[in-house]
Structure 1
Amino acid sequence: MNKRHLLLLAALLSLLGLLLFISRPAAESDNPPSAPATPAAVSSAAPASTAPIASLAKLDGQAPARRALDIQRWTTAEGARVLFVEARELPMFDLRLTFAAGSSQDGATPGLAMLTNSMLNEGIADQDTTAIAAGFESLGAGFGNGAYRDMAVASLRSLSAAELRTPALDLFARVVGAPTFPDAALARMKNQLLSGFELQKQNPGKLASIALFQQLYGRHPYAQPSDGTAQSVPAISREQLAAFHARAYAAGNAVIALVGDLSRSEAEAIAAQLSASLPKGAALPAPAAPAAPAAGRQHIEFPSQQTHLMLAQLGIDRRDPDYAALYVGNQILGGGGFGTRLMEEVREKRGLTYGIYSAFSPMQVAGPFMINVQTRAELSEATLELVRSLVRDFIASGPTAKELSQVQRELAGSFPLSTASNADIVGQLGAIGFYDLPSTQLEDFMNQVQQLSVEQVRAAMARHLDPDAFVVVSSGPTVAQQPLPPPVERPAAQTAGVPEH
């Protein structure tokens, strides 16, 4: 071994030692006990240097402990619903406001909800977007926002020390409660959107997705693209944004989720401050239930070597009692990545794609069940028929006992990650509050998952899916079709190159 190799080996060994030193306390903090640790409990723990190395064998097949959540709930004087979890491990807190202010509330103006949310931090009475960003940064705080079909969110992460928390909350309350929607910023945002619409024309997957929602939902609000259209966005005015904000960002339409280094009294004060800073008003009604569309097929001609295939039908709303059974069933069918029925048959045995995925997307009312695959254009029809047959077989016979047991173990093992950080928890609280779920939702879900039988999963999938009811949209070239290649027992070789997206 020459001198260069010896030096490299020494460096690697040093790095390994450093990683082992760092990872030991990190592992403790990443796997908290069933109740949040108090400062006293932390200080009385054995030093890291004398603690024995934990072994996975000690779990004896059981899932690792998950952080227990003491969810406290109340309603502010203005009608905002509040969910709070005290977590003293770190000197910081996470805050998320969730409003029923997604694109389903756009009415006849697609893009209105998205533009309103995007413009929140573009200006307040005495500060422009640069000053707002600098204000959060100077306090070590972070602001986030986003709008989707059902909801719009605004979030804050801040240190919990009063001298930093107070000004961060004051700025956040003004940004969310009293944005000014400056004309110059609105013009800039519109130009960015219009540029994005032009780019969409070169994205066959995006074109297929837009067409699929239109075919699936027809005249329902979910049919509209969340970011609007090239026709609707230019006409949106500042006055429309202000009116939408006054209606959809009202306190009665808000869920306030708080997690972190706060007492109950501090959390109540924060919630009261934020609720009072919002416009006054009641919760907006959820969209009407969509009507199931007739099965159909639409093709979008696009010059490409591959074809995007998207299949969909109406799924469930978030409060459906079959949610757990359908989640597990989909994990086996196509939602769990490698090892699912769809991946095994379409990718591994036939090499038809780099990936195929299925998903239920429950929303306020029936969200879509979708399957998405990209394959060679000349094999698109054969791939479509294979996917249909795999769904038909799964609905008819359900999962095997081995498949169900494997998914139950995987979910039990990964479930602690759903509450591994304050950011994870605040997201869970926001969803629980927005969809009006019980505080025990996380525990209920896991209990239901572990108690499911093969027959219960099969029956739930059969109740909610019809293999002959898919709306199908394809995007790609029209070419002569070839028959499906026969399956192989070992993984098929994948085509070279980077897949098109």
Structure 2
Amino acid sequence: MINRPGARYGLLGLLVIVLLGIVAFFMSRPAQAPATPPTLEESTKLQSLTEVESKPLSRRTLDIQSWQTKGGARVLFVEAHELPMFDLRLTFAAGSSQDDGHPGVALMTNAMLNEGIPGKDVTAIAEGFEGLGAAFGNGSYRDMAVVSLRSLSDETLSEPSLALFDQVIGQPTFPEDSLQRIKNQILASLEQQKQDPGKLANNALFQHLYGEHPYGHPSDGTPESIAALTVDQLRAFHTRAYSAGNAVIALVGDMTRAQAEAMAERVSGALPQGPALASLPEPQSPEAAVHHIEYPSAQTHLLFAQLGIERGDPDQAALTLGNQILGGGGFGARLMEEVREKRGLTYGVYSGFSGMAARGPFTISLQTRAEQSQGTLDLVRDIVRTFLADGPTQKEVDDAKRQLVGSFPLSTASNADIAAQLGSIGFYDLPLDYLEDFMNQVQALTVEQVKSAMSQHLDPDNFVVVTAGPTVEQKPLPPPSAKPAQQPSTVPEH
């Protein structure tokens, strides 16, 4: 008997063709009207990107409650039962601006809080939080120091977590061996900074901008000041700056108002009892000048600064929007467009207002080729001068509003984010509706209001400038072009 595979494969092929024809027939039939109307989820799907502008933003409404503990701590609380946990954040006026002649004491005190308590060393403390599923955090800045706790709200876990946290913030022992270890870590970091022209430039910028003001010295101290710090100085700083009257307590999470009040009183009572520290003095505007740090590198760091605003300034919304257009909005901002996109002089250039307890800085920062640093410096000045003179366009204002409003929900995306916002609201004595009111102000701003605020608070001829790089022969800048002939030659230095 003879096998005939060719005929068998031919029949299979014919069957496949018939099946494909049936599928094509049904796919080509016109769609039937749905038997039921589309669901709400289906009907609200975007059909075009042009709909984005008209759709309301989904953002979290915060019901912020506030009171004061018996010890004088201000409390801000948001009840949130979506997750079985809470975030507790303490903010103290205990940043480097309170160093009081001992640069680095604020940083060191904050870093040493969880190094030892009666009966426990740093390892036992870390294991204690970890074993309870809790997370401890701390940090020190120019204005403030923060300490935080995240814990599950189940009382069998939250109770021992709070007990340990209370000891860390209220009874730190500042052990000598830990002090020496952290000193060595900071001294090593300071030594590394000598190889970082950006860090050298930033420290110099604050020194030249603020002079003898408490913001003027490095937040992390100097090799001499760090080496000289003693345990007694840390204890004295803790007693003075980590007092209940100097604290803001932010609470967000799975608890009632009554539970929040009890927790706040407990935490406040665990702290040293004392008043808030005195407000910082107002800084004096320095004379405009250019200061150079000689450093062997292919690129030069350019840092511009002048005194800006206090946090909560009436013009903050207008200045935030104006800066978004000038240099805070990334690609599309004036500085980025003119310096990077049209001339290829840098990977990135950024500007920003840092509102602080006293007048914080307005800064512009970038890196560029050493041989074009002077031309780039002059170009940045000219861009600022033109922007202040002419103001933004209506399109720029509209685009910047969309960017700010679109990113706003991220500021309250998690309970930890909300706790951080509450800490700032309490620390800077802002109104409880500050976040909502701020975005409403942004939405209502006009081109003229933005121009007026920016020109009132900034002067293109009043910058303190610090440059860090080599002294080399300067070359002219390339003309602006849609496609710059030369792109930045190296990865930005750090």
TM-score by length of 1: 0.89
- Which residue of structure 2 aligns with residue 86 of structure 1? 79
- Which residue of structure 2 aligns with residue 249 of structure 1? 242
Q: Does 1:344 align with 2:340?
A: no
The amino acid that maps onto 2:298 is: Q
Q: Which has the larger radius of gyration?
A: 2
- Which residue of structure 2 aligns with residue 228 of structure 1? 221
Distance in 2 of aligned mates of 1:162 and 1:492: 65
- Cα separation, partners in 2 of 1:492 and 1:125, compared to 1, 3 Å: farther
Q: How far 1:319 sits from its partner (Å)?
A: 2.0
Aligned counterpart in structure 1 of residue 139 of structure 2, from 146, 156, 165: 146
Matches within 5 A, 1:48-59: 52=42, 54-57=44-47
Distance in 2 of aligned mates of 1:496 and 1:389: 24
Distance in 1 of aligned mates of 2:443 and 2:129: 44
Distance in 2 of aligned mates of 1:492 and 1:157: 52
Q: Runs ≥4 in structure 1, deviation > 3 angstroms?
A: 49-54, 56-60, 490-493
- Which residue of structure 2 aligns with residue 448 of structure 1? 441
- Which residue of structure 1 aligns with residue 153 of structure 2? 160
Q: How far 1:412 sits from its partner (Å)?
A: 1.7
Distance in 2 of aligned mates of 1:247 and 1:195: 28
Q: How far 1:349 sits from its partner (Å)?
A: 0.4
The superposition leaves residues 355-375 of structure 1 with CA deviations (integer Å, 9 ceiling, x where unpaired) of 000010010010000000100
The superposition leaves residues 42-79 of structure 1 with CA deviations (integer Å, 9 ceiling, x where unpaired) of xxxxxxx9964852356662342211100000000000
Matches within 5 A, 1:366-445: 366-445=359-438
Q: How far 1:336 sits from its partner (Å)?
A: 1.0
Q: How far 1:466 sits from its partner (Å)?
A: 0.5
- Which residue of structure 2 aligns with residue 97 of structure 1? 90
Q: Does 1:462 align with 2:455?
A: yes
Distance in 2 of aligned mates of 1:189 and 1:286: 29
Distance in 2 of aligned mates of 1:470 and 1:236: 35
Q: How far 1:484 sits from its partner (Å)?
A: 1.0
Distance in 2 of aligned mates of 1:462 and 1:67: 34
The superposition leaves residues 148-179 of structure 1 with CA deviations (integer Å, 9 ceiling, x where unpaired) of 00000000111011100110011011101110
Distance in 2 of aligned mates of 1:278 and 1:341: 48
The amino acid that maps onto 1:184 is: D
Distance in 2 of aligned mates of 1:211 and 1:339: 30
Q: Does 1:116 align with 2:109?
A: yes
Q: Does 1:284 align with 2:274?
A: no
Q: How far 1:423 sits from its partner (Å)?
A: 1.0
- Which residue of structure 2 aligns with residue 133 of structure 1? 126
Q: Does 1:476 align with 2:466?
A: no
Distance in 2 of aligned mates of 1:399 and 1:173: 51
Distance in 2 of aligned mates of 1:163 and 1:318: 40
Contact preservation (8 Å) 1:347, 1:492: no
Q: Secondary structure at the match of 2:223?
A: coil
- Which residue of structure 2 aligns with residue 71 of structure 1? 64
- Which residue of structure 2 aligns with residue 36 of structure 1? none
The superposition leaves residues 330-365 of structure 1 with CA deviations (integer Å, 9 ceiling, x where unpaired) of 010001111100000000000000000001001001
- Which residue of structure 2 aligns with residue 186 of structure 1? 179
Q: Does 1:172 align with 2:165?
A: yes
The superposition leaves residues 254-274 of structure 1 with CA deviations (integer Å, 9 ceiling, x where unpaired) of 000000001111111110100
Q: Secondary structure at the match of 1:324?
A: helix
Q: How far 1:405 sits from its partner (Å)?
A: 0.3
Q: Does 1:210 align with 2:203?
A: yes
- Identity fraction in percent: 65
Structure 2: segments with no counterpart, 5+ residues:
1-38
Aligned counterpart in structure 2 of residue 263 of structure 1, from 235, 246, 256: 256
The amino acid that maps onto 1:159 is: L
Distance in 2 of aligned mates of 1:439 and 1:458: 28
- Cα separation, partners in 2 of 1:211 and 1:59, compared to 1, 3 Å: closer
Q: How far 1:410 sits from its partner (Å)?
A: 1.7
Contact preservation (8 Å) 2:66, 2:77: yes
Distance in 1 of aligned mates of 2:417 and 2:485: 38
Distance in 2 of aligned mates of 1:103 and 1:94: 25
Number of aligned residue pairs: give it.
453
Distance in 2 of aligned mates of 1:444 and 1:385: 38
Contact preservation (8 Å) 2:369, 2:488: no
Distance in 2 of aligned mates of 1:60 and 1:445: 19
- Which residue of structure 1 aligns with residue 19 of structure 2? none
Contact preservation (8 Å) 1:307, 1:476: yes
Distance in 1 of aligned mates of 2:113 and 2:43: 49
Distance in 2 of aligned mates of 1:264 and 1:484: 62
- Which residue of structure 1 aligns with residue 35 of structure 2? none
Distance in 1 of aligned mates of 2:475 and 2:352: 28
The amino acid that maps onto 2:401 is: Q
TM-score by length of 2: 0.90
The superposition leaves residues 157-206 of structure 1 with CA deviations (integer Å, 9 ceiling, x where unpaired) of 11011100110011011101110100000000101111111101100000
The amino acid that maps onto 1:313 is: Q
Contact preservation (8 Å) 1:319, 1:435: yes
Q: Secondary structure at the match of 1:317?
A: coil
Q: Does 1:296 align with 2:289?
A: yes
Structure 1: segments with no counterpart, 5+ residues:
1-48
Q: How far 1:493 sits from its partner (Å)?
A: 5.2
The amino acid that maps onto 2:257 is: R
